[in-house]
Chain A
Amino acid sequence: MLFGRRKKNPIILRDKGVVEWKYATCGYCSTGCAMEVGLDAAGNAVTTRGVADAPVNLGKLCIKGITEAEILRAPGRGTDPLMRNHSYEQWQTVDWDSALDKTASEFKRVQERYGRDAVAIVSTGQILTEEFYTLGKLARGVIGTNNYDGNTTLCMASAVSGYKRSFGSDGPPGCYDDFSHTECLMAFGSNLPEQHPVIYWRLKEAQEKRKFPVIVVDPRVTMFAQFADIHLPITPGTDLVLLNSLAHVIFAEGLADEDYIAQHCNGGEDLRELVKRYDPATAAKITGIDEDMIRNVARIYARAGAAMSIWTMGINQSTHGSDGVCGINNLNLITGNIGKPGGTSLSITGQCNAMGTREWSSCSGLPGYRALENAEHRKEVGEFWGVDPAFFPEKRGLFMTDIFPAIESGEIKALWLVATNPLTSMPNTTRIRKALEKLEFCVVQDAYADVESAQYANVFFPASVWAEKDGCFTNTERRVNRVTPVTAPLANSKPDLWIFNQLAKRWEQGRTMKFPDTAAQVFEEMRALSPGTGANGEPRILDLSGMDYDKLLSQRGIQWPMREGDETGTARLYTDGVFQFADGKAKLLAMEWRDNNEKPDSDFPFWLNSGRVVEHFHTRTKTGKVGNCNKYSPTAYMEINTDAARELGIEQMEYVRLVSRRGDAVVMAQLTQRVPYNMVFVPFHFFDCVNRVSLGLLDPHSRQPAFKQAAVRLEKVDQLEAARLNRELRAY
């Protein structure tokens, strides 16, 4: 063997020089990976590693988590508060007091002139639970606007709505450990390997130990679809038909768990009656999945000892997203697959703290899954906060997707955006742009000053980001986990908690109420608000009263409920079959499918599908600046079927113009058989791209937009001009 030399030279490996590791939960998606951030001798965060004994990720991280230390010092971070009278003027750097005073006085002016609800707050799923809770207290108890919502309406609203309609409460009943017990897993519109790679790894680990069938429903041949035992390439927007048809087969063939239905469910007869109309032959014509396959899948699922469903945006971002979730819940209820190991309805959540905002932000009601519609809850929270319960509205206000139309119609005059970027993330951004232009006052609070939505802001609050702050996230499986301040806030940026507290002080009411300074004190309030009795007379499920920061850290996150005195959390909800409705029974819902999507026609012959890629997060304000993420897709592109492209004369890497009834966008063509002949797929991360053409019809229950169903046509463009445009649009 040839070694090259006898006397060897020393080996020099590059070394980031980590001297200390500090604990955090990943700030990207809701998988909730526990990690340690490595600090060098100068105290700079230089790298990350997975926490080896964390129950979620067992030391693993995905590409975004692996490179996450870079986001703390990424270009474009906001360093100082900024102000300007008009959005067409240059920003002026100001001190915090000026920015906060200006914001408070503008909110007051707008509210006095146009009414309390003329100020709208659109928040996020990105900040810490303690911050959500504080923002909720400020919005509901001090500012007093009812037009307060989170951008979770763009991702998880249908899951929330579906859980509430089926089980009486939000809260995913399952957990990742269910992969280790299930005998059949069905994934609807979920591309785990790309969207939640660490959850996929958990699934893969379970499969390596014990084989069980995986069925993937997706119009695209994702890696997940390809690796599945059965792939159902469904026609977009027809999931409910498939679900009703599966229920049809299960009832018709006597495969339902009749005991479970009788003991734990209402509405069974209506459902049976409805799904009679969804026989597989009829469903096949609508869904594009042949009738034999529908029967086959229904039998596999119903006969499995334990079967579970997971889903993500393929279900949620749909005109019948909420119905789709209820349809999945139906499937699991009629087969007795709720609350048992390996049998569950598990929505795979999007943002790192989408769950935190659902639980504690008061966006859709009051903290801790309390409702504005419930007088008891208004009284309870009002007394706890020191707010007159009559100050609370008796019904929740507008959803995020209705707030922008209300700006358009002039009902809302001032807007506060917290860590969200609607100018890129909302459907039909032309309309969003026009709405933002109409505002009298707009304040943007974000870690990144180059967030596109700041274009229309009068005030910019530079927020600290992720592990510069202290608090908790809740993940997909209800696991509350800690983020500790790993590095000091950059420059003059401040934690969101501090910003909310300081703004609260600008109101008389805010000065009389208690706004604790530290996250730990806020957590104590949440704990205090936790215990109690639910609508069903049983202890509330969203109960953190047994948790504290030390326990969260030592157990690497704990799943709620964990009640006072419990040693640890609870893996699954509804194990006793008692649901959150007054009678403790779940609801089987009979839901008719309506064909209301914009579908391909002769003018716009392609389905427009959108989605995520693994290397990017949301609107790229973070990952667009991390080279080792961004380089895998540095510019906007679309997947187009090779045969369709050939017929249109479109070549690989050619720029193409997408045109819809809303607008246009220029993307680079990637020819692949991964998508059907009549569909293009465009990642949603890029500014002025897919959401210039998307439609986003709203789900009637969740008000979530149907991002993934619209029609477009393709046009040839001048390649040099398109390249120039592409370069100009890539500010990061």
Chain B
Amino acid sequence: MNAPEKVVNLFDPIDKARPSSSLFPLRDNEPEYALLRDPHSQETNRYGDRIALLDLVDEAVSLNINGVREVGFNPNRYKQHAFHFTADNCIGCHACESACSEKNDLPPHLSFRSVGYVEGGTYPNYTRMNISMACNHCDDPVCLKGCPTRAYTKHPEYGAVIQDPDICFGCGYCTWVCPYNAPQLDPVAGQVEKCNMCVDRLEVGLKPACVSACLGNALNFGVVENTPENREQIATHLPGFPDPEITHPNIRFQQIKSMPREVTRTDSMPVKYRRDDKSGSYKPAVDQKAGKARHWNIARLSSRENPLVLFTLASQAAIGLFALMLLGDTLGVPAISTFTGSVAYPVAVFLCIALVGFGLLMSTVHLGKPLRFYRGFNNLRHSPVAREGAGVALFMGFAGVHMLLELGQAPWLVSEFPWLAGFGAGLAIAAGVSGALALAGALIGLYYMVRCYRIKARPFWNHKQTGFSFVGCGVYLGALCLAVVGGSSQAILGEPVVPLLTLCSVTMGLGLLLEGTGLVLHARDMTAAESEGAVSHYVQTTTFGKTWLLRNVLLAVTAGGLVLAPLYLQAATGVAIWLILALSTVLLAVIGRALFYVLVIPTTMPGAFFWKNKGFEQHARDIGLADMPQVGVAPLRH
């Protein structure tokens, strides 16, 4: 057998005289297994993308790692690299994880690479398959697209997707969109960090630290689509690994030993994986770990995402309110134009601004680094989060202008400052334009708010129900706000209240029916889904089963009651009934939105019994074990 061609010697070893030898640690005698070795590679990958990300240029640019100016002269430097994982060999020894943590100086609660496992069979015919997973430096880096701050860069050097914590403001959106749980949100530092492919090692011809540390000969690394020495498979499917179509990840697998038909997870996630005999790959299915009993678990509705519950509800209410007023006025709906023509109208616009302002404050509070909030618009080109924020901010700004312009036409102000009358016509036109722009901003904001949650890695959200819910919520919360502000101002001004209240009630009812329709479709689709969405729905109907039923009953009763409002609003107790239904509307909106956030189950990699087990993390926080840093569970700051 011919000795494999060594390409590492083509490198210019980077200056060894620099002050630190932790990085670029090329020694004279680096062992063979640690050396990059890809004498040949394919033109394109299996998805048809070119593996050479740039044509080799004469003047390669330094990656500028920690101020080091030298350039690596790896002939494969501009080719997409990938991990190769032989699942048949992984012994779960944690060497890769600890080598990574050691190189990147990570505290115990953080890890760029994690090993979990699935298991199946019956003793002694038992099989456990460990899965070591870090970042897959995808062809389609959804993290990069999703990040509102542009903290991510995909480098043509090695195809490495590298995130810069100094840019990140800790919104955690990349952790939502990544199907592999690669970006790690550090609740202590308030920022995300992730695998950097050990580009410093690549520059001197060494494989990443995790690969070099592997003791089972399971992990390997090289130019994508190359089959490592002694391996025969470069598959993209593995039991427990999400659908590669989501991001075209740069990881390849060998898994040729037979596996049980069904494998389970040891962590608390009620997911198992079943072999689909047609495709040979494994699909997620519900593992009824919590039985079938329904529970309340009201306290568990509260989560880290509470600020987002408030942000979405408040901003949707504001958008709904503004849109109803503007559309009602434009269409000449009498009950509304009476109100929009009154002195109270600017107050209602102010309420919109206040609600949006509160919502934005909440979403800022949700950030790991709130003072960096202004970076939220950096990535308008790709990120729905940035666009959502921009839309909502535009809405807020133009609504403010609109409010001032409306005020400028208010009779009580004109009588005070007669010179204003001279601008009347101009003000009216400007108010109309700013109102239309505000509405446009609102609709853009609402559209991208929906897009934000249409995430392939989160099947429970990636359903039209998200749209039904957000729009429906805008309608019924907006109408509710209009009823409250408009109704009370009409009452104060001595105008009739019932026409507006009736209109708002019916609108609320229709909004609720819209959300209800979404929920019915959602439940139907999630029950049938072969994805983590089915699992979320299982949790919804068991762990939160009673809460879920309560919300559904409330929704049906409230929607019905509101639609029928014309029948009873004239009666003496009509307003009292209406008030109860209004409260119920708020309650079911909050419950529904909280459920939306706590129920989502991403396409995460399987965890282990302690590490990356949500159930254990929760338990460790509950009993105080998390207070010991070496337990590796960061106590949540609340």
Contacts and interface: CB of A to CB of B under 8 A. Distances in A.
Given A3-B153, A13-B65, A727-B625, A677 B123 contact: yes
A48 B150 CA distance: 35
Nearest to A59: B31
Interface string A181-211: 0000000000001100110110011001000
Contacts of B34: 59
Interface in A683-732: 723-724, 726-727, 730, 732
Given A3-B155, A14-B104, A204-B216, A634 B623 contact: no
A271 B20 CA distance: 63
A67 B98 contact: yes
A299 to B, nearest CB: 22
A226 B127 contact: yes
Interface residues of B, number: 94
A633 B29 CA distance: 35
Contact of B19 (A17, A225, A615): A17
Contacts of A677: 123
B513 to A, nearest CB: 41
B295 interface: no
Nearest to B623: A723
Interface in B620-638: 620, 622-625, 628-633
B123 to A, nearest CB: 5
Contacts of B27: 52
Contacts of B306: none
A223 B91 contact: yes
Contacts of B119: 672-674
A6 to B, nearest CB: 10
Nearest to B218: A204
A205 B130 CA distance: 19
Contacts of B128: 221, 223, 226, 672, 674
Contact of A18 (B20, B64, B166, B268): B20
B608 interface: yes
A370 interface: no
Interface stretch (A255-263, A279-287, A495-503, A622-630): A622-630
A714 to B, nearest CB: 17
Interface stretch (B331-339, B555-563, B611-619): B611-619
B610 A8 contact: no
A269 B126 CA distance: 41
SS class, residues of chain B in contact with chain A? loop
Contacts of B33: 58
Interface in B72-113: 89, 91-95, 97-99, 101-102, 104-109
Contacts of A535: none
A676 B20 contact: no
A401 B342 CA distance: 94
Contact of B164 (A9, A224, A227, A233): A9
Contacts of A11: 63-66, 162, 164, 196, 199
B438 interface: no
Given A2-B144, A3-B156, A208-B217, A221 B123 contact: yes
B615 A653 contact: yes
The size bracket of the interface on A is: 35 or more
B149 to A, nearest CB: 11
Contacts of B167: 9
Contacts, number: 256
B266 A197 contact: no
A376 interface: no
A15 interface: yes
Given A9-B164, A16-B105, A614 B632 contact: no
A17 B21 CA distance: 7
A233 B108 contact: no
A670 B266 contact: yes
A632 interface: yes
Given A3-B153, A194-B93, A635-B625, A38 B630 contact: no
Nearest to A38: B22
A11 B202 CA distance: 14
Interface string B410-425: 0000000000000000
Counting chain A CB atoms within 10 Å of each CB, the highest count among B152, B382, B609, B611 belongs to B609
A165 interface: no
B106 to A, nearest CB: 8
B31 A16 contact: no
A15 B216 contact: no
A660 to B, nearest CB: 22
B294 interface: no
Contacts of A604: none
A221 B124 contact: yes
Contacts of B92: 193, 223, 614
A60 interface: yes
A683 to B, nearest CB: 11
A474 B64 CA distance: 45
Contact of A15 (B23, B61, B91): B23
Interface string A622-649: 0011111111111101000101000000
B215 interface: yes
Interface of B: 19-23, 25, 27, 29-31, 33-34, 49-50, 53, 61, 63-67, 89, 91-95, 97-99, 101-102, 104-109, 119-124, 126-128, 130, 139-141, 144-145, 150, 152-156, 162, 164, 166-167, 196, 199-200, 212-213, 215-217, 230, 266, 268, 289, 382, 608-611, 615-616, 619-620, 622-625, 628-633
13 contacts: A5-B153, A10-B66, A12-B65, A17-B20, A41-B19, A59-B31, A60-B215, A67-B101, A226-B127, A628-B632, A635-B610, A653-B619, A730-B628
Closest 6 CB pairs of A and B: A631-B632, A627-B108, A193-B91, A627-B630, A10-B64, A233-B124
